[in-house]
Amino acid sequence: MIKVNNFDEQQQLGVVGRDPRWAIAYKFPAREATTKVHNISVNVGRTGVVTPNAELEPVEIGGVTVRNASLHNADYIAERDIRVGDYVTVKRAGDVIPYVVGPITGRRTGTEQPYQFPTHCPACGTPLERVPGEAAWRCPNFGICPAQLVRRVEHFVSRSAMDIIGIGEKQAELFVNTGLVKDVADLYYLRAEDFAGMEGFGRRRIENLLNAITESKQRPLDRLIVGLGIRYVGSVAAQVLADHFGSLDDLMNATPADLEAIEGIGPVAAAGIVDFFQRADERRVVAKLRAAGVNLTSAAPRRARHTTGLFGQTFVLTGTLPNLTREQATELIEANGGKVTGSVTKKTSYVVVGEQAGNKLAKAQSLGIPTLDEAGLQQLVRSSEPGEDAPTAPAPPEQPAQDQSDSPKSNEPAESDNPANANDHRTTPGQLSFLDE
């Protein structure tokens, strides 16, 4: 394991989901072996992506017998001219996922067959589509294709989503193939009598499964958002959306502009979210979830917690504060509607500075971000509390635009031409002025 050996820099780098940016596992070179391709088949994923898969003559790689390996997409096969009957080199990426590197053309006998990628979905027969600029072919039959539905049910019940114990791949296939489940919301309408005559479903198992389904109705909103399977929305983005909107209804009615205004949500994800909830089928699923009693709201939406002083403001912490730990300072800011991030950007409202401040202070200075000590932070909090006779919270000054010669694509407003503004370096009590350092 290789780590950044500085706590402040670790805080600045932050994490993605549960994975720290400041640590990485050093892995040995991927192991590889040679084997023969007997056939090439395709799998349909929950978002309709059709992925080719090589069916191999069993071969051992790193103590594991490999019989199937990914071929990624149609372009990957065509570029490497991988054929049925080829001898190929197979690697296990990270000693986990096997994939075909390429054919060994010197071992060809002339009997190998070039592969033709399918033009229609193998599960429902719908013509495949390809978005310009993307490598993947997709089945557009999103609400009906049985292969997609099986994968969507698997995803919905997974541990990172609604965490329904007792339903896996085989159960998802069974429920879809028997017609018990036509969308993920149908899981909440299953009854004990629906399992009558099904092999392996005794009274105790049925009872446990129905209890697990009922229990999942109270999962947090972000878990439901993950379970719906919206493209480009993973667990981190789902948490951001749940905190910001507070309810699935508000998220469903959000515009691309509303979504792009949220830090961490870009135009691609925003378009994917809007497109998802514009589909009549998905709105019907949400209506069925609501009728079944599934939780569609956040337990403590950030929007509902905010006060006028800190709502909409983003803070970054650096250094050691005299009385508050970082966790306490973060809780104080978030309890009053603010947001704490790990890195300084142009969107940062304030940087809270303690002793032995690190690179974040220098970054704030270079971007013109105002800084606060602990007393200044407490003053902001007091001024945000209704009924308190406290001075008005200091507003972040306008951030100067970068020199256009250094940043030709900058969209920042130009610096004021008023010389009085240029020389106004006043600070409020408790606020640090980096101009005096």
Q: What is the pLDDT of residue 351?
A: 93
Q: What is the pLDDT of residue 328?
A: 81
Mean pLDDT across the chain, nearest whole number?
84
Q: How many residues does the chain have?
A: 437
Selection from 8-17, 134-143, 306-315, 399-408 with the highest mean pLDDT:
134-143
Q: Do 208 and 166 meet the contact criterion of CB atoms below 8 Å apart?
A: yes
233-259 average pLDDT score: 92
Could you tell me which residue, 341 or 371, shows the higher pLDDT? Answer: 371
Q: What is the pLDDT of residue 48?
A: 93
238-256 average pLDDT score: 93
271-281 average pLDDT score: 95
How much is the pTM?
0.65
Percent residues over pLDDT 70 in the chain: 84
Q: Is the pLDDT of residue 407 over 50?
A: no
169-195 average pLDDT score: 95
- pLDDT tens for each residue of 140-164: 998 789 999 999 999 999 999 999 9
pLDDT category at 405 given cuts 50, 70, 90 is very low
pLDDT category at 299 given cuts 50, 70, 90 is low
Torsion of CA 422, 427, 432, 437, to 10 degrees: 50
Q: What is the pLDDT of residue 409?
A: 39
Q: What is the pLDDT of residue 423?
A: 37
**Which residue do the tokens 């995803």 mark?**
155
- pLDDT tens for each residue of 205-215: 999 999 999 99
Q: What is the pLDDT of residue 309?
A: 61
What the chain holds in terms of domains, given with CATH numbers, is 1-29 (no CATH), 32-114 (2.40.50.140), 146-218 (1.10.150.20), 221-302 (1.10.150.20), 306-400+423-436 (3.40.50.10190)
Cα–Cα nearest to 294, from 249, 343, 358: 249
Q: Is the pLDDT of residue 217 over 90?
A: yes
Q: What is the pLDDT of residue 193?
A: 95
pLDDT category at 125 given cuts 50, 70, 90 is very high
Q: Do 229 and 282 meet the contact criterion of CB atoms below 8 Å apart?
A: no
- pLDDT tens for each residue of 64-109: 999 999 999 999 999 999 999 999 999 987 667 899 999 999 999 9
* Tokens at 350, concatenated: 């304030």
Q: Is the pLDDT of residue 308 over 50?
A: no
Q: What is the pLDDT of residue 303?
A: 44
Could you tell me which residue, 170 or 143, shows the higher pLDDT? Answer: 170
Q: What is the pLDDT of residue 95?
A: 67
pLDDT category at 21 given cuts 50, 70, 90 is confident
pLDDT category at 386 given cuts 50, 70, 90 is low
